Amino acid sequence: MSHARLEFGASAPGKVNLHLGVGDVRADGYHDLATVFQAVDLRETVRLLVDPDAGTVADGSVVTQMSTFFAVSEPGEDIDTRRNLAWRAVDAVVEEYRRRFPKNAGGSVELPPVKIVVEKKIFVAGGMAGGSADAAAALVAANEYLGEWGRGPLDDETLVRLAKTLGADVPFCLTGGTALGTGRGDDLVEMMSRGEYSWVFINPNVALPTGQAFARLDDMRHNDPALVPRMDTTHLAQALVTGDPRRVAGQLHNDLQPAAVAMRPQLKRLLEVAGGYGLKAIVSGSGPTVALLCRDYLHAANTCNEILDNHHEYEAVVAFGPTEGARPL
């Protein structure tokens, strides 16, 4: 059988949490969440490059190499390893394929090796699900690869199931749009949203590990009874159907923000600076990225330029939402 196609690509969006309510710790160690995701058009791109002359891989990973190219600041460590979510996503798709078509039943087709190439536009470890977007894009790209070199692609339901095994934000990056996430944040219900929302995302270039932010919030709640979980998203849902950025701005909320500011006090100043330019600034997810909602795209573009001109210590980019989820290139 001859195969002409040697490259398979997909892109997936980053996210901003319009609302992030953090409840109690669950038995599995995660917190109960009530969050409203909006996908934004900062998209990660993942490509699988097939080497047709390298034979086939009967067992184990089909990935032989990974390379990441950054349009944003690079991390201080090598991320092109088997632990990378994009690599793990490709492995998950191939493992599922092999389970469905086991060799001993004469069903599977051995697959050729691939190299993964990732183009990153989302701040690394910034609270915008950049790694999860890589995973979502890799799921779609690997499924396209199966469609050409295997016995056909997996169904969408299976991809969502695999996404949940990779991380709590991966299912949303796969589906995109605007959605309410409960449980770990991966039980998704699509939400109605009118209009387009323009953002400036500002990276203060400080590290803020997600797990530490949740732990700090737990500690702070023991001493501050005012830091109660805010799990009700009703008013935000009502604002979203109006399509009015000002009304949506009034409902933006993040339970993790006090913990993020306590851990990285410079975020307080950044929130004040950003808030002076737009409708409202909040910490995005677990941070440290700050998301600034603006009136419209022109306002966002002008604001981004001003921030970059006046605050050289920050990175800043413009994006709009909502946008679609992971899709083939």
Task: Please write the tens of the pLDDT for every residue from 9-22.
Answer: 999 999 999 999 99
Q: Quote the percentage of the chain above a pLDDT of 70.
A: 97
Residues 6+ apart with CB under 8 A from 271: 261, 281, 282, 283, 290
169-209 pLDDT, tens digit each: 999 999 999 999 999 999 999 999 999 999 999 999 999 99
d(CA 167, CA 33): 14
Q: Is 244 a catalytic residue?
A: no
Q: Judging by DSSP bridges, how do beta strands 178-183 and 31-50 pair with one another?
A: antiparallel
d(CA 74, CA 140): 25
CA 130 to chain centre: 4
Per-residue pLDDT at 3 exceeds 80 = no
- 200's enclosing H/E stretch is strand 197-203
Task: For each of the domains in the chain, give its residue range(s) and CATH number, in order of start.
Answer: 7-190 (3.30.230.10), 197-321 (3.30.70.890)
How far are the Cα atoms of 96, 196, 200, 308, 329 from residue 40, in angstroms, in the given order? 30, 10, 11, 20, 17
d(CA 86, CA 261): 30
Please report the pLDDT score of residue 74 as a whole number. 87
Please report the pLDDT score of residue 71 as a whole number. 92
Residues 6+ apart with CB under 8 A from 81: 66, 87
Q: Spot the catalytic one: 15, 120, 121, 280.
A: 15
d(CA 50, CA 116): 9
Q: Spot the catalytic one: 41, 169, 186, 255.
A: 169
Phi, psi of 215 (to 5 degrees): -65, -40
Q: Is 41 a catalytic residue?
A: no
Please report the pLDDT score of residue 107 as a whole number. 57
Please report the pLDDT score of residue 102 as a whole number. 81
d(CA 240, CA 196): 10
Average pLDDT over every residue of 26-35: 92
d(CA 266, CA 288): 10
Please report the pLDDT score of residue 109 as a whole number. 73
Please report the pLDDT score of residue 327 as a whole number. 98
SS3 278: coil
129-166 pLDDT, tens digit each: 999 999 999 999 999 999 999 988 999 999 999 999 99
Q: Helix, strand, coil shares of the chain as percentages rounded to 5?
A: 35, 30, 35
